């Protein structure tokens, strides 16, 4: 072992210690190492910074944007609602569907992002069904980890392995090369978790989010049920071409809450202002705040066609339309003004639905009542207006935010466009018409063009720490290669297991990768182990593909501890899990995954 290799191993050991202690942050550790390695003279500055020019880094960044568009358009939340409808009252069916959907969504976006997206969905399901959160959240994390085994772009380790193959002159994996392994392991995971989740006995205390009011609570508290109507403007309606400001509809006893306008692929939700012009075919969502109003006469007078309602008080539109309770503070300029003269819609883009004075909600004549100090108003409108109101305390102070606020999608009407673009990205990647990174970048541009995302959200969605971690750890692979460390590790694996055949070598690489992944991130583990796997394949004159694949599968098999992966770490608090829960559930399943991988990999990718 030469002196240069000792230096590299010492730096690697220092990095692992800092990773385990989580001091400093992992991306900072990567920057420290990326800076220090060239100073040793073992690698050049150009080699240390080469990761920034790797197309896979750009691809990972683009996939973060694609994933964020699925959140902004409400696709993931609609999947959660569909999940609950399909599962019914069966907890076992719910767990199986949750695992499948999470694996499917995570196959085209970051597994960590997929977990973060579905945690509020799962918590909402548990509140509605009464199932304890700890019974489902580990199912969610396991499905998200398995999603990394589904496609080439599902997780960063897959792309790292693919990049290692291509750097050594081999053709990379195809988009669906991972899918047979991922689907098999997913089926095993579903069967395993239907039994193993019963071993989870922790209890979840009531959280702050569970105490938040829901929109349905306010519908009942302010007696809103029965006030809602959905009416379509007919072709002969005198409202066509008129602006809302010219109609004076409030003097007739009703508010237009929103307007549904059919588009090319979806229905657009328009939030009304005085200048909004009505079109034939528009569906108006109406709140009748005067109980004596004859809605039948309104329909005849304006040639409006009644439409069926889904749920109570437009709650089916909760992705686009929200509510909030706000208090009139002592120094508010609204004091002694009426709701009408306060111009809530003009100034805040919100409509007053209810007024509570002391503890009693008022249901009649609220538009003409002067506002008093400590009056509480129930407001309805777009979520973006509610968020603005949170930051503006000059007139009102937000008292309570509904639980649905965390699920609101700012671009809910663009969901069909996001799905079509996602399908196009996957199709192009699968067909190989253009490089994966080009397909992802074109997809990001299309998502921006169709307003599924915007520049601010796109930059915010990129997990820069992950990118820096990958780029910063790449120089270790180069340094170990130049100093003979990769060859030394490969020789050790071959001497220990080579006499037992290819299956033993694959099992050994799986175990080493999984164990190292207990201490450092699976991405950093893959950066170190991929060159070793390829060196082992070269030394035994075998195909590199099964050896590369086994490392990628082992890197995603981070089931054993809550710190093995950010996916596990995300569910610890909301699921109230203990360290032993992951050991008890994760270790046996990791063994199952290893046995399945060692059996399948050499069969589907002959060495």
337-366 pLDDT, tens digit each: 888 888 888 888 888 888 888 667 776 677
Cα 599 off chain centre by: 33
Three-class HEC string of 94-154: HHHHHHHHHHHHHCCCCHHHHHHHHHHHHHHHHHHHCCCCHHHHHHHHHHHHHHCCCCCCC
The length of the chain is 607
Confidence of residue 120 (pLDDT cuts 50, 70, 90): low
Lowest mean pLDDT among 18-32, 93-107, 269-283, 298-312: 18-32
Residue % of the chain over a pLDDT of 70: 93
Which tokens in the block code for residue 155? 């997780």
Residue of 481, 549, 564, 565 lying closest to 509 (CA atoms): 549
351-357: strand order across its sheet: 360-362, 351-357, 376-382, 321-327, 397-400
Listed in sequence order, the residues at least 6 apart from 495 whose beta carbon sits closer than 8 Å to its beta carbon are none
* Token code pair at residue 470: 């990958």
Residue 211 — pLDDT band, cuts 50, 70, 90?
A: low
- Residue 147: what pLDDT? 92
Q: Tell me which residue has tokens 């969605």.
A: 461
Instruction: Give the torsion sign (CA, 92, 97, 100, 105).
Output: negative
Give 606's strand partners.
Answer: none
pTM score: 0.69
Most distant pair of Cα atoms in the chain: their distance: 93
| Cβ atoms 113, 61 nearer than 8 A | no
- Return d(Cα 81, Cα 405) in angstroms, integer: 16
Question: Which residues, in sequence order, are CB contacts of 211 under 8 Å at separation 6+?
Answer: none
Whether domain 215-317 has CATH 3.30.70.1450:
yes
Segments making up each domain of the chain, as ranges: 215-317, 322-407
Q: Look at residue 212 and tell me whether its pLDDT is greater than 90.
A: no
Report the alpha-carbon distance of residue 592 to residue 590 in Å, rounded. 5
CATH for 322-407 (3.20.20.70, 3.30.70.1450, 2.70.98.10, 3.40.50.2300): 3.30.70.1450
Three-state SS for 288?
strand
Average per-residue pLDDT in the chain? 84
Find residue 288's DSSP bridge partners: 254
Q: Name the residue among 290, 258, 291, 254 with its Cα closest to residue 273.
A: 258
pLDDT on residue 363: 65
Is residue 299 packed enough to be buried (19+ CB in 10 Å), middle (13-18) or exposed (0-12)? middle
The DSSP call for residue 353 is E
Residue with tokens 């229905």, as numbered in its chain:
267
Of the CA atoms within 13 Å of residue 198, those in its CB half-sphere come to 6
pLDDT digits (tens, 9 = 90+) for 427-485: 888 887 888 889 889 999 999 999 899 898 888 888 787 788 778 877 887 887 788 87
Whether the pLDDT of residue 317 is over 50: the answer is yes
pLDDT at residue 74 in the model: 80
Write down the pLDDT at residue 563: 63
Q: Are 366 and 339 in contact (CB under 8 A)?
A: yes
For 399-421, write each residue's pLDDT tens digit: 877 877 766 777 777 888 998 99
3 state SS of 495: helix
On the question of pLDDT at 190 being above 90, the answer is yes
CA 220 to chain centre: 31
**CA geometry: angle 242, 247, 249, nearest 5 deg:** 135
Q: How far, rounded to the nearest angstrom, does the alpha carbon of residue 340 sit from its chain's CA centroid?
A: 40
Instruction: Assess contact for 98 and 119: CB atoms under 8 A.
Output: no
Beta carbons within 10 angstroms of residue 438's beta carbon: 16
Q: How far apart are the first and last CA of the chain?
A: 30
- The answer to whether 408 and 322 are in contact (CB under 8 A) is yes
Q: How far is CA 95 from CA 129, 201, 313, in A?
A: 13, 16, 31
Domains 215-317 and 322-407 share a fold: yes
Range of lowest pLDDT (51-65, 211-225, 356-370, 449-463): 356-370
Structure-block tokens of residue 236? 């002969």
Residue 331: is it exposed, middle or buried by C-beta count within 10 angstroms (0-12/13-18/19+)? exposed
Quote the percentage of the chain above a pLDDT of 90.
23
Whether the Cβ atoms of residue 493 and residue 505 lie closer than 8 Å to each other? yes
Residue in this structure with the two tokens 């108006």, named with its chain if needed:
284
């Amino acid at each position: 072992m030469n002196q240069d290799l000792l230096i590299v191993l010492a730096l690697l050991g220092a990095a692992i210690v800092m990773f385990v202690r989580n001091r400093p942050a992992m991306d900072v550790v990567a920057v420290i190492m990326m800076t220090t390695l060239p100073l040793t003279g073992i690698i050049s500055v150009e080699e240390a910074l080469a990761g920034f020019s790797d197309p896979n880094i750009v691809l990972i960044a683009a996939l973060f944007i694609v994933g964020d568009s699925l959140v902004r358009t409400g696709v993931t939340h609609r999947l959660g609602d569909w999940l609950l409808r399909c599962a019914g009252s069966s907890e076992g069916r719910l767990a199986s569907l949750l695992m499948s959907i999470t694996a499917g969504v995570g196959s085209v976006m970051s597994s960590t992002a997929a977990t973060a997206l579905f945690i509020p969905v799962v918590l909402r399901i548990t509140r509605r069904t009464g199932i304890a959160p700890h019974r489902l959240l580990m199912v969610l994390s396991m499905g998200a980890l398995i999603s990394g085994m589904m496609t080439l772009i599902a997780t960063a380790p897959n792309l790292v392995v693919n990049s290692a193959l291509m750097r050594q002159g081999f053709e990379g994996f195809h988009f669906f090369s991972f899918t047979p392994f991922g689907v098999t392991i997913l089926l095993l995971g579903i069967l395993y978790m239907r039994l193993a989740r019963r071993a989870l006995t922790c209890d979840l205390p009531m959280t702050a989010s569970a105490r938040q009011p829901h929109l349905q609570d306010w519908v009942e508290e302010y007696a809103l049920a029965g006030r809602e109507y959905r009416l379509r403007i007919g072709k002969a309606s005198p409202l066509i071409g008129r602006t809302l400001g010219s109609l004076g509809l409030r003097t007739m006893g009703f508010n237009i809450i929103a307007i549904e306008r059919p588009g090319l692929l979806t229905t657009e939700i328009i939030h009304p202002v005085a200048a909004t012009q009505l079109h034939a075919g528009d569906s108006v969502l109406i709140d009748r705040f005067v109980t004596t109003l004859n809605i039948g006469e309104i329909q005849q007078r304006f040639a409006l066609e009644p439409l069926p309602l889904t749920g109570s008080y437009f709650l089916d539109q909760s992705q686009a339309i929200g509510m909030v309770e706000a208090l009139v503070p002592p120094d508010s300029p609204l004091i002694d003004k009426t709701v009408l003269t306060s111009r809530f819609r003009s100034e805040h883009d919100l409509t007053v639905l209810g007024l509570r004075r002391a503890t009693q909600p008022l249901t009649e004549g609220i538009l003409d009542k002067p506002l008093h100090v400590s009056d509480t108003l129930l407001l309805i409108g777009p979520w973006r207006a509610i968020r603005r109101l949170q930051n503006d305390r000059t007139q009102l102070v937000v008292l309570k935010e509904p639980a649905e606020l965390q699920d609101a999608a700012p671009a809910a009407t663009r969901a069909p466009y996001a799905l079509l673009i996602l399908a196009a990205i996957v199709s192009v990647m699968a067909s190989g018409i253009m490089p994966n990174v080009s397909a992802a970048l074109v997809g990001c541009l299309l998502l921006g063009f169709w307003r599924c995302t915007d520049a601010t959200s796109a930059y915010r969605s990129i997990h820069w720490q992950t990118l820096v971690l990958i780029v910063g750890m790449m120089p270790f692979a180069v340094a170990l290669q130049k100093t003979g460390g990769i060859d030394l590790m490969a020789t050790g694996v071959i001497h220990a297991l080579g006499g037992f055949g290819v299956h033993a070598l694959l099992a050994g690489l799986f175990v080493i990768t999984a164990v190292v992944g207990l201490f450092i991130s699976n991405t950093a583990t893959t950066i170190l182990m991929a060159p070793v796997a390829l060196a082992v394949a070269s030394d035994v004159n075998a195909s590199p593909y099964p050896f590369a694949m086994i490392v990628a599968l082992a890197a995603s098999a981070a089931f054993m501890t809550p710190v093995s992966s950010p996916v596990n770490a995300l569910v610890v608090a909301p699921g109230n899990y203990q360290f032993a829960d992951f050991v008890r559930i994760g270790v046996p399943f990791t063994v199952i995954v290893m046995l399945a991988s060692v059996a399948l990999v050499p069969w589907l990718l002959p060495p």
